[in-house]
A and B are shown apart, each in its own frame.
Chain A
Amino acid sequence: MSQLPKPDTAELRGKYAGVFERPASARLALPAVIVAALAIFAYGLVDLDFSPSKLITGMSQLGWITMMMIPPNPGSSFPLYMQALGETLSIALLGTTLAALFALPVSLLAARNIIPSNLIRFPVRRFLDSIRGVDTLIWALVWINVVGLGPFAGVLAIMVSDFGAFGKLFSEAIEAADRKQVEGIRASGGNALHEIRFGLLQQVLPVIAGQVLYFIESNTRSATIIGIVGAGGIGLQLAEQIRVLEWQKVSFLILMILIAVAAIDFISSKLRFAIIGQRAVV
C-alpha cells in the first residue's frame, strides 16, 4: 500500500498567498451582506406587525377556507362566468392590439438607429418609462374615472400600460436590426420612409409579432385582476364572490382562470413558432 504524499502546507501557503490569506474585507463581505439582509428582514417583520399568533390563527383560517372551497362549484352562475371570461379575453386581445398599434410609431422615435439625436430620444424614453412605472390597476382606476365602470375602462387601461412596455421592447428590437438592408435601400435611392418600410419593418415585424403574442398571454392574467377595481371581466366576479365568502364559486373561478391562461399559453406559443421560426421561408 502506497501512501499519498503529505502536502507541504507551508510551501503551498507561500506559493498561493492569495488563496490562503484573503484580506479581511473579502472574507467578511459575504457574512456582512447576509447579516444586513437578515437584519432588514427582521425589522420588516416587526414593522409590518407579524406575530406568530396572528400567523397561526390566519393559517387555520386559511385551511378552513380551503376546505370550504372543495369541491369547486359555480352554482347557477356558470353562463355568467363564461360571459365574464369572454369579456376578460376580449379586454386582453383588444388592449394589447391597440397598444401595439400606438407603440409602433413611438418606438421608432425611441430607437437609436432611427433618431440619433439624444434631444428627442431622451424625453420619449422617460415618457415611456413613467407610463410603465404605474401599475395597470392604477391606470384602470384612472380610466374608470373617465369612461365609467365596465370592460371598456379595462381595455383602455391595458392599452396604456402596455403602450409603455411595447414602446421600450419595440425600440430595442429596432435597434438590434441589421443596418445592411437599410443601407442597400438608401444606395438604390430610397428615402427615409422607404428605408423603414422595406429595410427595417421586414426584419422587425416577426420579432414584434412574437412579443405581442406573448403579451396577449400575460395580459390575460392582468385582465383577470383589473376587474377587482371595477374594470370588467372575470376579476369583478371573483372579487364579488370573495367579498360574500362564496368559497366554492371562488375556487371555480380560479380554476377557470387557470384553464384559460393555460389554453392561451398553448395557442400563442403555437402561433409564435408559426410566425418567427420553425417554418421554411416561402
Chain B
Amino acid sequence: MATAISILPAQQLATLNDAYRKAVARKRLKVTVAAAVFCAALFIAALGADVNLHTFFTYFGNFVSYFDRILTLDSGARVWTDPVEWFWGLKKWLRLLGETLLISYVGTLTGAVFAFALNFFAAQNTSPGPWVRFTVRRLLEFARTVPGIVFALIFVIAFGLGPMAGVLAIAIHTTGALGKLFAEIVENADMKPVEGIRSTGASWLSCMRFGILPQVSAGYASYALLRFEINVREASVMGFVGAGGIGQELVVAIRKFYYSDVSAILVTIIVTVFIIDISTGWLRGRLFGKETRR
C-alpha cells in the first residue's frame, strides 16, 4: 500500500521555507558572533600569555626528548632494563611518600572535623540565625578560594619549614571545601525528624544530633574520603614550597636534572595516587553504595 506524500502548494511552501531560512540565519548569526568574540578573547589571551609558536616548535623537540632523557639511566641504558638502579632511592622515597600520605590524612581529618563543626551554621535549614550563616559562609568561601599552596607558603614562614605547615594548609583548604559540601547535604536532609524532636522540647543541639546527623553521616564520610583522594595529590606538591612530603625530593630532582630520578619519583607518585583512588573508591562503594562523583 503506497501512500503519496502530499506536496504543498508552491506559495505556502515558499512562506514556510522563508520562515525556516530566517530562523536558521538568526541562529547562525548568533553562533558566528559568539565564535568571533571567543576567538578574539583567545587572541588577546595569546598575546597576554606570551605565546610564541616559534619557541614552541623550536623547543617541542625538547619536550619529547625530555621524556627520552628521564627514561634513561646515567649509564645510557633504558630505565626499565635496570629497575634496581632506577629505583635506587626507593626506601627514602617511600618514607617521604608515607609522610605525604600522613600529611593528607591528618589534614583531611582536621579539616573534616572543622567542616563538621561549622556546616550546621552554614546550612539554610539548620542555621540558628542569618548573621551567623552569612559569616560562616564567607569564612568557608575564603578558605576554599585561596589556594592551599598559598596558605602553605605563608605557614612555612609562620611555623617554619616542615610538614606542619603542609598539614595546616591542607586542613584549612579542606575545611572550606568540605564545609560547603556538608552544608549542601544538610540542606537536602528531611526536616520532619527535626520537627518531631523539637516537639518533645529538645534543644537545637539535640535536634541536630538526633534529627539531622543520622541522615547525613554517610554522605559526610563519602565526601571526606573523596577529599582525602584529592588531598593526596595536593600534598605531593606541598614540598615545592618546603611544606614536607615527597614534593621536596621531586623539585630537587627536576631542578638539578637528575633525570632518571624524576621519572622514578613520578612513577611512585602516580602508582600511589592510583592505589589510593582505587581503594577509596572501593571503600566508598562498600560503605555507601554507588554515589555520583563530584
Give the interface of A toward B (CB within 8 A): 37, 40-41, 43-45, 47-50, 54-55, 58-59, 61-62, 65, 86-87, 89-91, 93-94, 97, 129-130, 133-135, 137-138, 141-143, 145-148, 150-152, 154-155, 221-222, 224-225, 228-229, 232, 235, 238-239, 242, 245, 250, 254, 257-258, 261-262, 282
Structural contact, B109 and A225, CB atoms closer than 8 A:
no
Give the interface of B toward A (CB within 8 A): 23, 26-27, 30, 41-42, 44-52, 55-56, 59-60, 62-63, 66, 99, 102-103, 105-106, 109, 142, 145-147, 149-150, 153-155, 157-160, 162-164, 167, 233-234, 236-237, 240-241, 244, 250-251, 254-255, 266, 269-270, 273-274
Candidates A50, A58, A150; contact of B158 at CB < 8 Å: A58
Please classify the interface of chain A as helix (H, G, I), strand (E, B), loop, or mixed, using the class held by over half of its residues.
helix
Structural contact, A94 and B42, CB atoms closer than 8 A:
yes
Structural contact, B145 and A221, CB atoms closer than 8 A:
yes
Residues of A within 8 A of B46 (CB): 90, 94
Q: What is the distance, in angstroms, from A218's C-beta to the closest C-beta of chain B?
A: 11
In the complex, what distance in Å separates the CA atom of A250 from the CA atom of B155?
13
Residues of B within 8 A of A232 (CB): 49-50
Structural contact, B153 and A242, CB atoms closer than 8 A:
yes
Structural contact, B51 and A49, CB atoms closer than 8 A:
no
29 residue pairs A–B, Cβ–Cβ below 8 Å: A37-B109, A40-B105, A47-B102, A59-B158, A62-B154, A89-B45, A90-B44, A90-B47, A93-B42, A94-B49, A94-B51, A133-B274, A135-B234, A142-B254, A145-B254, A151-B49, A151-B50, A152-B51, A152-B55, A221-B145, A221-B147, A232-B49, A239-B241, A242-B153, A245-B157, A257-B145, A258-B142, A261-B145, A262-B145
In the complex, what distance in Å separates the CA atom of A124 from the CA atom of B186?
39
In the complex, what distance in Å separates the CA atom of A150 from the CA atom of B55?
12
Q: What is the distance, in angstroms, from B260's C-beta to the closest C-beta of chain A?
A: 15
* Given A48-B167, A49-B164, CB of A150 within 8 Å of CB of B50: yes
Residues of A within 8 A of B158 (CB): 58-59, 61-62, 65
In the complex, what distance in Å separates the CA atom of A229 from the CA atom of B152?
14
In the complex, what distance in Å separates the CA atom of A61 from the CA atom of B155?
9
Structural contact, B244 and A65, CB atoms closer than 8 A:
no
Residues of A within 8 A of B240 (CB): 137, 228-229
Q: Nearest residue in B to A57 (C-beta to C-beta)? A: B159
* Given A41-B109, A48-B164, A142-B254, CB of A133 within 8 Å of CB of B56: no
Q: Nearest residue in A to B267 (C-beta to C-beta)? A: A130
Structural contact, A147 and B51, CB atoms closer than 8 A:
no
* Given A48-B164, A93-B42, A258-B145, CB of A138 within 8 Å of CB of B266: yes
In the complex, what distance in Å separates the CA atom of A235 from the CA atom of B269?
25
Structural contact, A141 and B42, CB atoms closer than 8 A:
no
In the complex, what distance in Å separates the CA atom of A245 from the CA atom of B153?
11
